[in-house]
Amino acid sequence: MQKTLGWIMLLAGMSLLLISQVFSFATVIYATPALTIYPSFPSGTLSSPTLLKVGAKYYLEAYLTVLDVGSLTLKQVTITGTGYSLVVSLTWSHTVNYDKIAAWWTTPVLPEGTLLTFAWHVEAGTYKADATSYGKIGGPIGKFYINGQEANIDSVFTVSSPTLTFSFKCTQLGDLIASVWIMVECDTPYVDQKVPMTETTVDTEWTGTYTLPSRGTYSIVGYISYAGQTFRLMSVFSNFDSEFQLPSAGFKLNMLQIFGLASTGIGLLLIFTDKTRAKKR
């Protein structure tokens, strides 16, 4: 009886595997586009632009996902604002975890409050990608620190303790700042937490702490507000016992193949265990 059942399972499994090859099945995968731009500096939005100091030299930077598209043939950012327009050619670099386009740029002499649009564009063969970020001239200037270390545009913090300490040190027009806070965000586990920071030194320093709920890769974004507007001054990743990786492709089976393999395996197991019992008799 067991041997018969085993042969039935084996034949059923092989049939399912054969059917999965003969008939056409559509598999829909919702995945990251082959070529995508993620502006890192400036990373501000239209409603929350990155503050820029006149005459300061900044490292314009954006991260990329580049999936089987070949070499980049065009990589640039077009910067425009009232009375200003410039196309900056970017260099392309590759590391184990990500691709990056970047270039040095000096903020022009423009009136305080001038909004600048950064239109990022890359091409690789027939593939193209665009992204937009925003910066604004003037206002308070300062730096954020995480666990005592400066959080610059390249920062990826890997920590073994879930408690993070934040500080913001203002070097220009601190008296204009109304509030300072951190946004901690994560997809898995889902976190979208605002962390208000306390002014510990008048017009100069703000501090705060936050304890991560579990292991994962978190986005840490620092904001200040003044003159009724919000400005983003920091955007980094913090890994709590986790590694930052871009999505990768893998080997996938459809449902018929999965059931076919399972049925084949069970059938073989039943047949061989029946033969083993027969020999012992």
| Residue 181: band (very low, low, confident or very high) from pLDDT cuts 50, 70, 90 | very high
| Residue 231: band (very low, low, confident or very high) from pLDDT cuts 50, 70, 90 | confident
Query: For a pLDDT cut of 90, what percent of the chain falls above it?
Result: 41
Distance CA 257, CA 278 (A): 32
Q: Helices 255-280 & 2-22, crossing angle to 10 degrees? A: 160
pLDDT by residue (tens digit) across 39-64? 999 999 998 898 888 878 889 999 98
Pairing of strands 163-172, 156-159: unpaired
Instruction: Judge whether 35-138 and 140-244 match in fold.
Output: yes
| Residue 189: band (very low, low, confident or very high) from pLDDT cuts 50, 70, 90 | confident
Do 250 and 3 touch, CB atoms closer than 8 A?
Answer: no
| Residue 139: band (very low, low, confident or very high) from pLDDT cuts 50, 70, 90 | confident
pLDDT at residue 198 is higher than 60: yes
pLDDT of residue 232: 82
pLDDT at residue 250 is higher than 60: no
First-to-last C-alpha distance (Å) of the chain: 16
pLDDT at residue 252 is higher than 60: no
**Position with higher pLDDT, 207 vs 43:** 207
pLDDT of residue 94: 78
> Which tokens is 165 given?
């300490």
Average pLDDT estimate for 164-179: 92
| Residue 148: band (very low, low, confident or very high) from pLDDT cuts 50, 70, 90 | very high
| Per-chain mean pLDDT for the chain | 81
Average pLDDT estimate for 208-221: 92
pLDDT of residue 270: 61
Sign of CA dihedral 121, 54, 220, 164: positive
Average pLDDT estimate for 101-108: 94
Domain range list for the chain: 2-27+252-280, 35-138, 140-244
* Sequence-ordered list of residues with C-beta below 8 angstroms from that of 47, at least 6 positions apart, any chain: 230
Amino acid at 270: L
pLDDT at residue 27 is higher than 50: no
> How far are the Cα atoms of 111, 145, 233, 266 from residue 192, in angstroms, in the given order?
35, 20, 18, 46
CATH class as words, domain 140-244: mainly beta
CATH number 3.30.565.10 given to 35-138: no
Segment among 103-112, 114-123, 194-203 with least mean pLDDT:
103-112
**Residue whose tokens read 């992204």:** 131
pLDDT at residue 120 is higher than 80: yes
pLDDT at residue 272 is higher than 60: yes
pLDDT at residue 202 is higher than 90: yes
pLDDT of residue 104: 95
> How far are the Cα atoms of 49, 152, 177, 182, 208 from residue 195, in angstroms, in the given order?
20, 19, 16, 5, 7
pLDDT at residue 169 is higher than 70: yes
**Position with higher pLDDT, 83 vs 8:** 83
